[in-house]
Amino acid sequence: MIAYIIRRLIATIPIMALVAVFVFMLLHLSPTDPALIIAGDFATPEQVDEIRRQLGLNAPLYQQFLSWAVNLLQGDLGKSIYSGLPVTTLIGQRVEPTLMLTLCTMLIAIVLAIPLGVVAAWKVGTWIDRAVMTIAVFGFSVPVFVTGYLLILGGSRNLGWFPVQGYTSIFDDFGGFVSHITLPALALGAVYMALIARMTRATMLEVLNEDYVRTAYAKGLATRKVLVKHALKNAMVPISTTIGLGVALLIGGVVVTETVFAIPGLGRLTVDAVLRTDYPVIQGVILVFSFTYVLLNLLVDLSYVLFDPRIRY
């Protein structure tokens, strides 16, 4: 197991290297010049050239990349072009809201989606099955920002149960944290929940037709025990894979959700950096998201051992 983890961690190095090269080239080959944005509309060409020299943007592209890569290996993601602060500092200031939003979204989605998928498979062809699948299709089809605005309209404006926007740290006020995070987590979790529920239903339908499930029923075991202990446990490997792959949806949805609900997280930081053409910040945030995605998929692979003892690493 330990050797497998080490091999997987080593395998992330070329993946992260390719991500770094792609992000660097994609941003630096874009037609937008950050020096022009920083200088303003009324700057002279000489002033723009001076800003480009200070930022190192007038050096050849390969020199810019080598300098950036060396600093990256030392844990230095550079400094923000707009604020002058280190990118690591900016990410550290914004990581908690994004982390809490992601964890709460995953918790809500998994806790709701898996039981819904199991019930839909158990009651296949009934109105319960059709209702669950209708909810899943709706959640998967409606954009995150539309779901967010609908939740704001219903939960905040009409009922007054939740605040419209903002974020409260869990370490400062737990009640305020729950009230602020509920609507964003539900909006972001709608797509994620729909994906997991559909996969759970499809996998459970296959498992429920297996001989050992029929044998369990023939022995007189309770339905709940058959569904949970025998069927769901054997269906968890593909469900876990879906949970891991669905993290990509969360990463993309975080940007939109934090913008809609004015949450000061990495998503808002990314949007602000894109609008300002702040290359170092954009690169740093993308690298953090990429590494997080790779790490979560490693954890999902390791979870297979818990659900299927035949799997060994």
Q: What is the structure's pLDDT at 110?
A: 86
Q: What is the pTM of this model?
A: 0.78
Q: What is the structure's pLDDT at 123?
A: 83
Q: Which of 35, 10, 24 is nearest to 67 (CA)?
A: 24
The mean pLDDT of 260-285, rounded to a whole number, is 83
Q: Which of 61, 52, 94, 75 is nearest to 287 (CA)?
A: 75
The 10s digit of each residue's pLDDT in 174-212 is 888 888 888 888 888 888 888 888 888 888 888 877 777
Better-predicted residue by pLDDT, 62 or 132 = 132
Q: What is the structure's pLDDT at 47?
A: 73
Q: What is the pLDDT confidence band of residue 34, given thresholds at 50, 70 and 90?
A: low
Q: What is the structure's pLDDT at 40?
A: 65
Percent of the chain exceeding pLDDT 70 equals 88
| Distance (Å, whole) CA 287 – CA 295 | 12
The mean pLDDT of 217-225, rounded to a whole number, is 75
The 10s digit of each residue's pLDDT in 61-90 is 777 788 778 877 877 777 787 777 888 888
Q: With 60 as the cut, is the pLDDT of residue 313 above it?
A: no
The mean pLDDT of 259-273, rounded to a whole number, is 84
Q: What is the structure's pLDDT at 266?
A: 86
DSSP string, 127-186: HHHHHHHHHHHHHHHS-HHHHHHHHIIIIIIIS--S-SS----TTT-HHHHHHHHHHHHH
Q: With 70 as the cut, is the pLDDT of residue 308 above it?
A: no
The mean pLDDT of 298-312, rounded to a whole number, is 69
Better-predicted residue by pLDDT, 156 or 115 = 115
Better-predicted residue by pLDDT, 204 or 220 = 204
Phi, psi for 39 (deg, rounded to 5): -70, -30
Q: What is the structure's pLDDT at 140?
A: 77
Secondary element (H or E) of residue 3: helix 2-28
Residue-range domains of the chain with CATH: 2-73 (no CATH), 95-307 (1.10.3720.10)
Q: What is the pLDDT confidence band of residue 32, given thresholds at 50, 70 and 90?
A: low
* Paired tokens of 287: 């690298």
Q: What is the structure's pLDDT at 138?
A: 80
Q: With 70 as the cut, is the pLDDT of residue 115 above it?
A: yes
CB 273 within 8 A of CB 285: yes
The mean pLDDT of 52-56, rounded to a whole number, is 71
What value does the mean pLDDT of the chain take?
79
